[in-house]
Amino acid sequence: MKRRDFLTTSALGLGAFGLSGCYREENKISDKNIHIKKGRVVKLKLATSWPAHFPIMGTGVDNFAKRCKELSGGTLNIKVYPKNILVPALQVFDSTSLGQIDAFHSGVYYWKGKNSAFSIFGGMPLGLTSEEMITWMKFGGGLDLWRELYGKFNLYPLIGGTTGPQMGGWFKKPINSLTDLKGLKMRIPGLGGEVMKKLGVNPVLLPAGEIFTSLERGTIDATEWVGPALDSMMGFDKAADYYYTGWHEPGSILEITFNKKRWEQLSDEHRAIITAASEEMTGNMLQEFRYKNAKALQELPKNVQIKTFPKEIMDAAKAALSEVLELESKKSKDFKQVLESYNNFTTLNKKWDDISTKNFLNIRS
C-alpha cells in the first residue's frame, strides 16, 4: 500500500475526546475516569486501514461503531474514518500511539517493523486457526503478552475480527514441484513471504491497486490475497487459472486498538461496551467470511481450477518456517517469548483438535 504523509490538523493534536451537552446520571458504576465527566457523550476517532465500507472488514468496523452507540444509549460515539482520510492506511498505528487519533482497526501483521513479535499475534503460517488463535489469546496468555508489548507504544489492543482460513493464492501456471517455485515472482507479504523466499520464490510487495494489472500482464506470476469473497472482487480469476488452497494464513487476527491513555480514561461501562462489541464483531466477521467465501467459491468462473500444493512443498514450507522462527527468536527476546507461549498452547491444543475437529471433519465427508 502507498504511504501518504500524515495529514495533521491542529484539532487532532488537541485530543480527540468531544464533550457534548448531553448528560446522563450514572447508577452505581465505579468510575476511574479522571478527565471525562460522568455521563457526558464521549466521541472517539477511529481510523482504519481499509477503504470506506470495505466488505466484511470495513463494514464489520462500521457495525462495531454503531453497536457501541446502541449499547451506550448514545453516550459512546465512535466515528470511523476509512484509510487515507484522517491518516494513511499504514500510519494508523503511529497516529494512535501518539494520541493524534483515539483508535484504529487494522491487521496485526502490518506492524512487524515495530516489533517482530507482533507478527505472531496476527497469525502464523501452518499454525493456529482463527478459533484456536483466539483461544490462545484468551486462555493461553497471548492477549496479556500482546497488551504488554503494545503498552510500550502506548497502545491497548483488542481482537477486532478474524478472517478464517485464507487461500494460498492465484498462480498463472500449476505448481507441481519445488522446481516450479524457483524464481517465481509472487506478491506475498509477512512470514508466509519469508517462507516462500526460502523455497526459491521472489516475494514482491505491491500496493493493492496494482496487483491485478501486474498479474494480468505477467509482471508477477502469482499473488495471494484473502479468500474467494474478496479475491473475486479483485478480479484475479480473470488473470490466473490456478487457485491454491491455504497454508500461510489459517487464522489472521484483526485488531481494534486504542491509545492506552485514552482507554484508561474511559469509564468502566464504556470499556465493557467496547469489549463486548469487539467480541460480537469477531464472531460475526468469522461467520460472514465463511458464508461469503462459500457463496463466492460456488460462483467462480469455469476456468478456475482449485489445487492443493503437493506434500513435497508443504514439507519444505514447514522446514523453512522452523528456520525463519529460529532466526527471529535469536534476533529478538520478545519474539522468543511470544513464540514460546504460542508453541505451548499449540502443543496443548493439537492433541485435542486432532481427535475432535480434525477427526470429525474427516469422518463427515
Where in 275-294 is the site for its own copies (CB under 8 A)?
275-277, 279-280, 282-284, 286-288, 290-291, 293-294
Helices and strands of the chain, counted as H and E runs: 14, 11
Comparing CB distances to its own copies, the nearer of 117 and 281 is 281
Q: Does 11 bind its own copies (CB under 8 A)?
A: no
Going from the C-alpha of 87 to that of each of 2, 55, 104, 224, 261, the distances in angstroms are 12, 20, 10, 26, 20
What is the smallest separation between the CB atom of 266 and its own copies, expressed in angstroms? 13
Q: In what order do the strands lie in the sheet with 155-162?
A: 76-81, 42-48, 103-107, 253-259, 155-162
What is the smallest separation between the CB atom of 27 and its own copies, expressed in angstroms? 4
- And the C-alpha cell for 253? 487476527
Q: Is the dihedral of CA 176, 238, 247, 110 positive or negative?
A: positive
d(CA 349, CA 341): 12
Q: Does 199 bind its own copies (CB under 8 A)?
A: no
Helix (H) or strand (E) holding 159: strand 155-162
Q: Does 37 bind its own copies (CB under 8 A)?
A: no
Q: Scanning residues 83 to 142, which ones bind its own copies (CB under 8 A)?
A: 126-127, 129, 131-132, 134-135, 138-140
Comparing CB distances to its own copies, the nearer of 80 and 220 is 80
Task: Please report, as a single letter, which amino acid is at residue 251.
Answer: G
Q: Which of 28, 34, 205, 302 binds its own copies (CB under 8 A)?
A: 28
d(CA 254, CA 251): 10
Q: Does 23 bind its own copies (CB under 8 A)?
A: yes
Q: Does 34 bind its own copies (CB under 8 A)?
A: no
d(CA 212, CA 196): 20
Q: Which range, of 46-54, 147-155, 163-171, 320-328, touches its own copies by CB under 8 A?
A: 163-171
Q: Which range, of 44-52, 70-78, 172-180, 209-217, touches its own copies by CB under 8 A?
A: 70-78
What is the smallest separation between the CB atom of 12 and its own copies, expressed in angstroms? 26
Which residues fall within 8 angstroms of residue 104, CB to CB, at 6 or more apart? 46, 47, 48, 49, 92, 93, 95, 96, 255, 256, 257
* Site residue total, its own copies (CB under 8 A): 77
d(CA 91, CA 138): 28
Comparing CB distances to its own copies, the nearer of 245 and 303 is 245
What is the smallest separation between the CB atom of 1 and its own copies, expressed in angstroms? 25
For residues 253 to 272, the per-residue mask of contacts with its own copies, x marking binding by CB under 8 A and - elsewhere, is: ---------------xx--x
The count of residues in the chain is 365
Strand, helix or coil for residue 353: helix
Q: Which of 132, 141, 124 is nearest to 353 (CA)?
A: 132
Q: Scanning residues 134 to 153, which ones bind its own copies (CB under 8 A)?
A: 134-135, 138-140
Q: Which of 179, 213, 322, 359 binds its own copies (CB under 8 A)?
A: 359
Q: Scanning residues 294 to 323, which ones bind its own copies (CB under 8 A)?
A: 294-295, 297-298, 306, 308, 314
CB 159 within 8 A of CB 255: yes
- And the C-alpha cell for 191? 512470514
Q: Does 241 bind its own copies (CB under 8 A)?
A: no
What is the smallest separation between the CB atom of 24 and its own copies, expressed in angstroms? 6
Q: Does 273 bind its own copies (CB under 8 A)?
A: yes
Q: Which of 13, 18, 73, 209 binds its own copies (CB under 8 A)?
A: 73
